[in-house]
């Protein structure tokens, strides 16, 4: 039956598909989409829309944490404006304390009275001295204020099995024990019951320069002593591969018993490592190359998933893309070790494409974490003293929250091509889901920076009478928000969709992200 359905969809598309390359001054590129609105078996986990915050630059200090005596409005030292902004995206989880920082972080230095906490040098990021005023209690307070699940990354590179085991006990045990009693003496009676735990970070690199075989053995040791307490079952994430290292994924799937891990991580940045380039000053060619690299994420995901499928056809192990995003040169005049960069419509396009890819693979991808939430890399939020702004990437996350925990709908897309200097990529990306109320949500990204996309969407399996939309669009590819003008790029109402007899027709403007809600 499934084969017949797919053939039928393909036949319909073939009747009215036009594949002319998009060119400046040309007619709008045609795209045709079929969505099976009464089908779908997989859930898009809200945790795909997770975040990552490392002790790096001004992400923690100045980003989240200003201290209780700050003139910046705060709750127990945590910025109110940042918390309120992230809550509007329904932030599902937050990964901390790193990143490379995690494998030099000793958690006991970050508990107890702040004035007595030892200082440390952040050797990975700028060589700055940290006073450890933001530690376990502060992080978990932040997560409670956000309504987000904490995702703690343990220290495998320079730590010990005992150290991580005691951290889990300190955070999660409700009985009488040295660590639980220590937690109570530091002001927290009840445990936090943290579920998500990463066992090391990038252990092929900054987390210890280990081989996959050696790390797999280390994981088994660490995971054994990271214990469940009470009814809380840990969801342990093994430190996975760097981008296209499929061998690393295979060795972990082969050597680690599957009952010992909930997921395997993957890190993939949309970056030209030999020449990152400016976040705001770039040519169309550089934009095109960024989109190409973003499409390569899709290919890498599929190859890692193929490896995992060969060992785990039941999809019991999650793929956790817990670092992803763009990585440009730092802003001129800023500390190179702080990784502070601006954020434009180009970044929003990458975010929309990546999230569409993750949605489509939600049978295997159960969590992802963009790097990073505040003031670092592809940030959702930038701060400067008491000022705060929302980036184009923030707005994509806020618009896409309609997909959280919704049912992924089968979607068949046929579209034109965006071409430049003899190379081409698909001009359109799309994802669709159905929420618990039966509302169908469709996210569309037009990659082409100069040509609009004329789209017909066939909504099958239901009766629909209303459509509403929102759009994120900038006057230029490098459009971005500044502290002087913080609303240059923001979502607007999209009134361009027409619905007749379950057929949606619309024109998606160049280099834009559109989200439609259909009832």
CA pseudo-torsion sign 68, 72, 73, 77: negative
Question: How far is the C-alpha of 167 from the C-alpha of 96, rounded, in Å?
Answer: 14
Contacts for 284-287 with beta carbons within 8 Å, 24 or more apart?
A: 284/420, 284/449, 284/477, 285/420, 285/421, 287/346, 287/449, 287/477
Given 54, 130, 323, 398, the catalytic residue? 323
Residue 61: strand, helix, or coil: strand
Question: How far is the C-alpha of 139 from the C-alpha of 119, rounded, in Å?
Answer: 18
Question: How far is the C-alpha of 78 from the C-alpha of 87, rounded, in Å?
Answer: 14
Contacts for 418-423 with beta carbons within 8 Å, 24 or more apart?
A: 418/21, 418/22, 418/29, 418/288, 418/291, 418/447, 418/448, 418/449, 418/451, 419/21, 419/22, 419/23, 420/284, 420/285, 420/288, 421/285, 421/288, 423/288, 423/292
| Residue given tokens 């053939």 in the structure block | 7
Residue 273: strand, helix, or coil: coil
Tokens of 426: 């698909």
Q: Which residues pair with 241 in a beta bridge?
A: 266
Outline where 379-512 has alpha helix (H).
392-400
Q: Which residues pair with 429 in a beta bridge?
A: 445
Nearest to 49 by CA among 144, 148, 136: 148
Cis peptide before 514 (omega within 30 of 0): no
How many other CB atoms are there within 10 angstroms of residue 336's CB atom?
A: 11
Question: How far is the C-alpha of 320 from the C-alpha of 263, rounded, in Å?
Answer: 6
How many other CB atoms are there within 10 angstroms of residue 76's CB atom?
A: 12
Residue 202 among the catalytic residues:
yes
Residue 507: strand, helix, or coil: strand
Tokens of 352: 């929309």
Tokens of 389: 């702004």
* DSSP 8-state class, residue 332: T
Q: Which residues pair with 459 in a beta bridge?
A: 35
Given 54, 104, 130, 202, the catalytic residue? 202
Q: Is 81 left (phi over 0), alpha (psi -120 to 50) or beta?
A: alpha
Tokens of 228: 């469940």
Nearest to 138 by CA among 53, 47, 225, 71: 53
Query: Which residue numbers are catalytic?
Result: 202, 323
């Amino acid at each position: 039956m499934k084969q017949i359905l797919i053939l039928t969809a393909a036949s319909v598309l073939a009747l009215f598909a036009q594949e002319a390359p998009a060119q400046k001054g040309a007619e709008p590129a045609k795209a045709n989409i079929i969505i099976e609105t009464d089908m779908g078996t997989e859930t898009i986990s809200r945790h795909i829309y997770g975040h990552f915050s490392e002790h790096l630059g001004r992400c923690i200090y100045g980003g989240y944490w200003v201290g209780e005596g700050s003139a910046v409005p705060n709750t127990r030292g945590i910025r109110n404006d940042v918390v309120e902004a992230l809550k509007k995206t329904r932030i599902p989880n937050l990964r901390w304390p790193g990143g490379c920082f995690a494998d030099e972080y000793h958690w006991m230095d970050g508990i107890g009275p702040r004035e007595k906490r030892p200082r440390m040098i952040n050797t990975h990021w700028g060589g700055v001295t940290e006073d450890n005023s933001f530690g376990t209690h502060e992080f978990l307070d932040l997560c409670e204020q956000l309504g987000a699940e904490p995702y703690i990354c343990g220290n495998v590179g320079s730590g010990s099995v005992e150290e991580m085991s005691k951290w889990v006990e300190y955070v999660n045990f409700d009985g009488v024990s040295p660590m639980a009693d220590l937690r109570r003496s530091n002001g927290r009676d009840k445990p936090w019951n943290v579920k998500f735990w990463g066992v090391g970070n990038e252990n092929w690199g900054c987390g210890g320069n280990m081989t996959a075989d050696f790390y797999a053995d280390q994981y088994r040791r660490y995971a054994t002593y990271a214990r469940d307490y009470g009814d809380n079952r840990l969801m342990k994430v093994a430190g996975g591969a760097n981008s296209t290292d499929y061998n690393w994924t295979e060795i972990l799937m082969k050597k680690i018993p599957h009952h010992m891990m909930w997921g395997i991580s993957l890190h993939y940045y949309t970056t030209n490592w030999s020449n990152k380039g400016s976040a705001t000053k770039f040519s169309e060619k550089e934009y095109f190359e960024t989109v190409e690299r973003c499409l390569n994420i899709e290919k890498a995901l599929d190859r890692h998933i193929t490896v995992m499928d060969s060992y785990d056809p039941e999809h019991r192990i999650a793929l956790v893309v817990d670092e992803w995003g763009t990585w440009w040169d730092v802003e001129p005049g800023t500390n190179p070790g702080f990784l502070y960069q601006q954020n434009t419509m180009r970044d929003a396009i990458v975010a929309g494409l990546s999230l569409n890819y993750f949605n489509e693979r939600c049978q295997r991808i159960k969590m992802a974490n963009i790097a990073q939430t505040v003031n670092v890399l592809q940030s959702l939020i930038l701060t400067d003293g008491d000022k705060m702004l929302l980036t184009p990437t923030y707005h994509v996350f806020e618009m896409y929250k309609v997909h959280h925990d919704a049912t992924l709908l089968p979607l068949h897309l046929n579209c034109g091509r965006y071409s430049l200097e003899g190379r081409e990529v698909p001009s359109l990306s799309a994802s669709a889901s159905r929420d618990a109320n039966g509302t169908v949500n469709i996210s569309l990204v037009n990659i082409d920076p100069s040509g609009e996309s004329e789209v017909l969407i066939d909504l099958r399996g239901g009766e629909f009478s209303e459509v509403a939309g929102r759009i994120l669009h900038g006057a230029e590819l490098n459009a971005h928000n500044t502290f002087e003008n913080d609303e240059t790029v923001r979502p607007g109402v999209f009134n361009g969709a027409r619905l007749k007899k379950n057929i949606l027709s619309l024109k998606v403007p160049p280099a834009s992200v559109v989200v439609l809600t259909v009832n």
